């Protein structure tokens, strides 16, 4: 992992890892993102909030170029990871995705064993040393607070897990390869409060080693886990600030309306 | 109004359940007919002696009792055997003609190498000028001993004539080819070859004379049998395949004979224009051909489907290809047979012969029907089934899983190989099962591209290169057709038709069960409860 001092710094002096510049995004004729400028800080948790359909997922999926799987999309502007454009034709999308892990809104474990799910990313990278893989499985599952529950059934099919366990397995899968950035799209939307609490605690832990971008609909959750929060409305970035500041003293009227529950 | 609708609705429920039960009944009826008639063949029936009013006697198995058409009486169909004496092996007897029905215990049923079964009263056994009467204690032992040694002799003769002399012939053939190619000026070389040839010829003569001696021995020894005509017939011991006293059997004996005959049927070569003996080459040929076809069709079909589903840009061309593939499934199978002859056999096979087997021409090697061409033709016939079901299986692998893999930095190919194909494997196997079932039951195209009436040499055997892709082979489906419609005595072949049909159904069932077992295992491994 690169040293923090190599990063650009924002006004309040935390280094920037991802820089989004004048970013526009279109699904065919329909524009989903309007001129977004946003700096995502290094090794902090950035929350993206906003009403449904405002473009949070679109932005998140732009960061690891997952949107490119969709037919007829178009973009303008640029996204820089450590100062380098992620759309640089010289940069392979595969190597980009190896640096940026992702946890999806709907948990999507592979129809394989728990063990194989966790080591999938490593196998892709050509790692086949058994003891190394074992090590990573234990470490990742411990980090995602799943180890105690599954350590005796690693060779069972992952689809036999509960919803919350599956989501934590997907997190373990994403962090097994130690990416620099972790993107999470509403990771707790399908979970009960206990599982949610576990994942939130996990995010707190992970913050020490990872830069995390999380989309959430849950204001309390954004307040609890994030350092910075960005509020989106109709495809535009309305406000981006320290989480505490944004929740207690928003500078825009729309933000205040949203967080006090007047719409959305 | 409401009431009326309800009544109509209920009627539809009843109608549809009626349709379903009719369908099931038809299938069950067909299956049970085939099972019963197919297994009946091997059950040893008692032999009845009927004394008729006109003084005649009829000895045989009662095959069928039926109403006589337009008359108010019953008639029995009797299997009387002894074709060469009685002219026909089946005979109808009116019931009112029968004066007495009895089951004499001394009657012997002899299965023979030629002319089918014979029934009669044993009179004496003659071996090397020694005579044994049935009343004699050693009669049974001597007969059994004589039969056994004659069977051993047949085996030895076959070994000599088919294996050893066959190998010699092959060597001589290749020598002859060598000689053809040698420059006539190189006299020393030709001399050497001729010497070799003479050596082989000598070997051949010793083998042939050994075989001749054995054959001469087979002429000795006979069993005298009294038949219903009152005449005595001599049956050479070497003609006896098997014999038993049908009216002395206990139920246990019958059961034992049943399994014995079933086993012989499954493991022996056919005799007498296929109406007698076993069926093993056909069984083997069908299984080998179906497996080979599966090996060919699955990779082609799966690759095609993967391309269509995962790589090809959706558009008019892909749509057209899909429609074409679906229509291919509806093309009459004989058309594929004709295509197979024209394309595989004549074009490809002919070219192969010209390039690699030109010294054997004009005798074709691959330029004639054979195992490979038959399998390829059937693979072509069944490829739509595999493509369609594979596409379906691929498209039902969820987008979430694909994205999950891509997001971890897997390439498209890695995603396909490690996630999508394993998840789709059960569906692909379902397609494979359907293709196998279709392929194993197909007959029409095979008649054009390599199936023959009789080919006792198996396509997989001990001579190099062990799998003979160019060889013609036998097939159960064609065997049924041949027995039922092409044999000189279709009445005698009828039971065999049922038995062979039963076997074909069992073979298809067996192959399918194998594939289903595999699918269940995969499903457990990649349990995505989707198929
Ligand atoms: N594949 C797509 N094709 C066309 N339009 C899309 C596609 N995906 C999203 N959109 C549109 O883009 C806009 C932003 O969608 P996005 O999924 O980013 O919203 P979101 O903020 O994540 O909403 P939610 O909170 O409900 O997940 C929406 O208006 C949506 O209809
Ligand atoms: Mg979303």
Tell me if B13 is assigned to some domain. Answer: no
Ligand nearest to the CA of A49: 1
Nearest CA-CA partner of A110 in B403, B227, B152, B376: B403
- Tens digits of residue pLDDT in A2-47: 444 433 334 455 788 899 999 999 999 999 999 999 999 988 999 9
Residue B288 maps to a domain: yes
Q: Give domain limits for chain A.
A: 16-259
B273 in a structural domain: no
pLDDT at residue B105, rounded to an integer? 87
Residue B119 vs residue B353, higher pLDDT? B119
| Interface contact flag, A123 B403, Cβ < 8 Å | no
| Whole-number pLDDT of residue A60 | 93
- CA–centroid distance, A61 to ligand 2, in Å, is 9
d(CA A200, CA B315): 46
User: For ligand 1, atom 30, which residue shows the shortest CA distance?
Assistant: A53
pLDDT given for residue B463 in this prediction = 65
**A247 has a pLDDT exceeding 70:** yes
Q: Is residue B419 part of a domain?
A: yes
A3 and chain B in contact, CB less than 8 A: no
Lowest mean pLDDT, pick from A141-145, B8-12, B108-112, B457-461: B457-461
Whether A50 and A231 have beta carbons less than 8 Å apart is answered as yes
Contact B418 A124 (CB under 8 A): yes
Ligand nearest to the CA of A58: 1
- pLDDT reported for residue A6: 39
- On average, the pLDDT of chain B sits at 85
The residue whose CA is least distant from atom 29 of ligand 1 is A53
pLDDT band at B509 (very low <50, low <70, confident <90, very high): confident
pLDDT at B196: 83
Locate B114 and state its tokens. 């030629």
CB pairs under 8 A between A and B: 71
Residue B2 CB: number of other CB atoms within 10 A? Answer: 6
> Residue B186: exposed, middle, or buried by beta-carbon count in 10 A (0-12, 13-18, 19+)?
exposed
With respect to residue B224, please indicate whether it lies within any of the assigned structural domains.
no
Position A2 scores a pLDDT of 43
Displacement of CA B170 from its chain's centroid (Å): 28
Q: What is the pLDDT of residues B389-436, one digit of tens each?
A: 999 999 988 889 999 999 999 999 999 999 999 889 888 888 888 888
Task: For ligand 1, pick from A25, A34, A48, A55 the residue to mutate: most ligand atoms within 8 Å of CB.
Answer: A55
Please tell me which of A12-16, B377-381, B462-466 the model is most confident about, judged by mean pLDDT: B377-381
Q: Are residues B257 and B203 in the same domain?
A: no
The verdict on B413 and B459 lying in the same domain is yes
A112-150 pLDDT per residue, tens: 899 999 999 999 988 888 999 999 999 999 888 889 889
Q: Does the global pTM surpass 0.95? A: no
At residue B459, the pLDDT reads 76
Long-range contacts of A50-55 (CB under 8 A, 24+ apart): A50/A231, A50/A232, A50/A233, A50/A238, A50/A258, A50/A264, A51/A233, A51/A258, A51/A263, A51/A264, A52/A217, A52/A264, A54/A232, A54/A233, A54/A234, A54/A235, A55/A25, A55/A232, A55/A234, A55/A235
C-beta atoms surrounding B173 within 10 Å: 12
Residue B494: give its domain's CATH number.
1.10.3720.10
According to DSSP, the β-strands at A236-242 and A228-233 are antiparallel
Index of the ligand 1 atom closest to the CA of residue A235 = 14
Whether residues B350 and B443 fall in one domain: yes
Q: Is the beta carbon of A62 within 6 A of some atom in ligand 1?
A: no
Q: Which of B406, B414, B526 sits opposite A112 (nearest CB)?
A: B526
What number is the average pLDDT over the span B260-286?
84
pLDDT, tens digit, for every residue of A195-210? 788 888 888 888 888 8
Residue B275 lies in a domain: no
Give the bridge partners for B297, in sequence order. none
Q: Are residues B446 and B396 in the same domain?
A: yes
Same domain, B110 and B135: no
Backbone φ and ψ for B442, nearest 5 degrees, come out as -80, 135
For the residues A174-200, what does the mean pLDDT come to? 86
A108 contact residues in B (CB cutoff 8 A): 398, 400-401, 403-404
Mean pLDDT, to the nearest integer, of B340-358?
84
Asked if the C-beta of A123 comes within 8 angstroms of chain B's C-beta atoms, the answer is yes
Range of the domain at B52: 35-119+242-263
Least Cα separation, residue B404 to chain A (angstroms):
6
List chain A residues with CB under 8 Å of B529.
159
pLDDT digits (tens, 9 = 90+) for B183-208: 777 777 777 788 888 888 888 888 88
Q: List the one residue out of A106, A160, A179 whose CA is nearest residue B401.
A: A106
pLDDT at B471: 81
pLDDT at A8: 39
pLDDT confidence of residue A263: 62
Q: Which residue of A has its CA nearest to B415?
A: A124
Q: How much of chain B, in percent, has pLDDT values that exceed 70? A: 97
Domain assignment present for residue B424? The answer is yes
- Residues B256 and B349 reside in one and the same domain: no
pLDDT at A160: 87
pLDDT at residue B529 greater than cutoff 70? no
CATH number of the domain that residue B87 is part of: 2.30.30
For chain B, how many structural domains are there in total? Answer: 3
Give the pLDDT of residue B462.
Answer: 65
**Residue A120 contacts residue A136 (beta carbons within 8 Å):** no
Range 487-516 of B in CB contact (< 8 A) with A: none
For the CA of A28, the closest atom of ligand 1 is 4
Mark whether B502 and B401 lie in a shared domain: yes
**DSSP 8-state class, residue B473:** B
The mean pLDDT of B352-357, rounded to a whole number, is 80
Q: Which residues surround ligand 2, an ion (CB under 5 A)?
A: A 57
pLDDT by residue (tens digit) across A77-119?
A: 999 988 889 888 888 888 899 999 999 988 899 988 999 999 9
**Residues B356 and B498 occupy one common structural domain:** yes
Has residue B303 been placed in a domain?
yes
Q: What is the distance in angstroms between the Cα of A10 and the nearest Cα belonging to chain B?
A: 29
Residue B89 is given by DSSP the state: S
CB B82 within 8 A of CB B108: no
Q: How far apart are CA A248 and CA A176, in angstroms?
A: 36
Nearest CA to ligand 1 atom 24: A52
pLDDT value, residue A238:
92
Q: Are B84 and B232 in contact (CB under 8 A)?
A: no
Nearest CA among B328, B350, B347, B127 for reference residue B224: B127
Given a cut of 80, whether residue B180 has pLDDT beyond it is no
Residues B94 and B152 in one domain: no
State mean pLDDT over B308-316: 87
Average pLDDT, integer, range B334-357? 87
- HEC per residue, B307-330: HHHHHCCCCHHHHHHHHHHHHHCC
Do B382 and B502 fall within a single domain? yes
Is the Cβ pair B404, A157 closer than 8 Å? no
pLDDT of residue B307: 92
Dihedrals φ, ψ of B70, to 5°? 65, 0
Distance CA A117, CA A139 (A): 14
pLDDT at B521 over 90: no
| pLDDT at B210 exceeding the cut of 60 | yes
Q: Kindly list the distances between the CA atom of residue B250 and the CA atoms of B37, B45, B247, B255, B257, in Å, as whole numbers in the listed order.
A: 22, 11, 9, 9, 10
Chain A residues in contact with B403 (beta carbon < 8 A): 66, 69, 104, 108
User: What topology does CATH give the domain A16-259?
Assistant: Rossmann fold (3.40.50)
Taking 90 as the threshold, does the pLDDT of residue B140 lie above it? no
- Binned at pLDDT 50, 70 and 90, residue A59 comes out as very high
Residues B112 and B134 in one domain: no
Segment A226-237 shows an average pLDDT of 92
pLDDT tens across B12-23, in order?
888 999 999 999
pLDDT at B515: 80
Could you tell me if B205 and B311 lie in one domain?
no
């Amino acid at each position: 992992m690169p040293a923090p001092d190599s990063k650009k710094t924002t006004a309040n002096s935390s280094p920037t890892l991802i820089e989004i510049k004048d970013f526009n995004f279109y699904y065919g004729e329909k524009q989903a993102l309007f001129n977004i400028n946003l700096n995502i800080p290094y090794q902090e948790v950035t929350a993206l909030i906003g009403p449904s359909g405002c473009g949070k997922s679109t932005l998140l999926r732009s960061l690891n170029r997952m949107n490119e799987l969709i037919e007829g999309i178009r973009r303008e502007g640029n996204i820089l990871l450590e100062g380098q454009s992620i759309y640089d034709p010289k940069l392979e999308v595969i190597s980009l995705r190896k640096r940026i892990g992702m946890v999806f809104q709907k948990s999507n474990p592979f129809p394989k064993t728990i063990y194989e799910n966790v080591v999938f990313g490593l196998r892709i990278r050509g790692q086949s040393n058994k003891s190394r893989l074992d090590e990573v499985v234990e470490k990742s599952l411990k980090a995602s607070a799943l180890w105690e529950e599954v350590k005796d059934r690693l060779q069972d099919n992952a689809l036999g897990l509960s919803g919350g366990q599956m989501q934590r397995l997907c997190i373990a899968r994403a962090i097994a390869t130690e990416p620099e950035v972790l993107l999470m799209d509403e990771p707790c939307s399908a979970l009960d409060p206990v599982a949610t609490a576990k994942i939130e605690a996990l995010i707190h832990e992970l913050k020490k080693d990872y830069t995390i971008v999380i989309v959430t609909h849950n204001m309390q959750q954004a307040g609890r886990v994030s350092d910075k929060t960005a509020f989106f409305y109709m495809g535009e970035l309305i406000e981006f600030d320290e989480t505490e500041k944004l929740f207690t003293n928003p500078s825009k009227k729309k933000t205040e309306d949203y967080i006090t529950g007047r719409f959305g | 109004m409401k009431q009326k609708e309800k009544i109509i609705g209920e009627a539809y429920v009843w109608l549809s359940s009626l349709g379903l039960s009719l369908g099931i009944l038809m299938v069950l009826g067909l299956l049970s007919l085939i099972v019963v008639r197919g297994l009946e063949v091997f059950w040893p029936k008692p032999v009845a002696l009927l004394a008729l009013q006109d003084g005649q006697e009829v000895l045989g198995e009662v095959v069928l009792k039926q109403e006589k058409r337009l008359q108010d009486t019953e008639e029995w169909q009797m299997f009387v055997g002894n074709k060469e004496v009685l002219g026909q092996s089946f005979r109808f007897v009116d019931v009112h003609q029968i004066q007495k029905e009895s089951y004499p215990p001394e009657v012997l049923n002899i299965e023979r190498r030629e002319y089918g079964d014979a029934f009669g009263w044993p009179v004496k056994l003659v071996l090397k000028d020694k005579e044994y009467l049935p009343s004699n204690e050693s009669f049974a032992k001597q007969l059994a001993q004589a039969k056994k040694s004659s069977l051993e002799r047949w085996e030895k003769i076959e070994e000599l004539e088919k294996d050893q002399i066959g190998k010699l012939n092959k060597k001589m053939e290749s020598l002859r080819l060598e000689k053809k190619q040698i420059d006539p000026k190189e006299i020393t070389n030709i001399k050497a070859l001729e010497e070799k040839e003479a050596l082989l010829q000598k070997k051949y003569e010793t083998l042939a004379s050994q075989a001749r001696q054995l054959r001469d021995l087979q002429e000795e020894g006979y069993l005298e049998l009294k038949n219903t005509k009152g005449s005595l017939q001599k049956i050479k011991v070497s003609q006896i395949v098997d014999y038993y006293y049908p009216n002395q059997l206990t139920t246990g004996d019958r059961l034992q004979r049943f399994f014995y005959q079933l086993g012989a049927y499954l493991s022996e070569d056919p005799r007498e224009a296929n109406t007698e003996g076993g069926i093993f080459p056909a069984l083997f040929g069908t299984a080998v051909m179906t497996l080979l076809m599966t090996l060919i069709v699955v990779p082609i079909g799966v690759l095609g489907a993967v391309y269509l589903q995962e790589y090809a840009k959706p558009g008019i061309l892909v749509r057209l290809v899909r429609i074409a593939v679906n229509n291919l499934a509806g093309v009459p199978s004989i058309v594929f047979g004709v295509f197979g002859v024209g394309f595989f056999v004549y074009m490809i096979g002919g070219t192969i012969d010209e390039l690699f087997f030109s010294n054997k021409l004009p005798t074709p090697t691959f330029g004639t029907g054979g195992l490979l061409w038959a399998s390829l033709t059937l693979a072509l016939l069944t490829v739509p089934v595999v493509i369609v079901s594979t596409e379906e299986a691929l498209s039902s692998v969820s987008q979430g899983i694909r994205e999950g893999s891509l997001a971890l930095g897997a390439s498209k190919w890695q995603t396909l190989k490690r996630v999508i194909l394993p998840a789709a494997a059960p569906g692909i196997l379902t397609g494979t099962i359907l293709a196998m079932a279709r392929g194993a039951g197909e007959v029409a195209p095979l008649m054009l591209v390599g199936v023959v009436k009789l080919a006792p040499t198996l396509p997989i055997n001990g001579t190099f290169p062990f799998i003979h892709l160019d060889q013609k082979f036998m097939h159960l489906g064609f065997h049924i057709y041949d027995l039922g419609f092409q044999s000189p005595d279709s009445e005698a072949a009828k039971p065999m038709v049922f038995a062979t049909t039963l076997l074909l159904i069992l073979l298809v069932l067996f192959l399918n069960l194998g594939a289903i077992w595999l699918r269940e295992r995969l499903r457990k491994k990649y349990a995505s409860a989707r198929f």
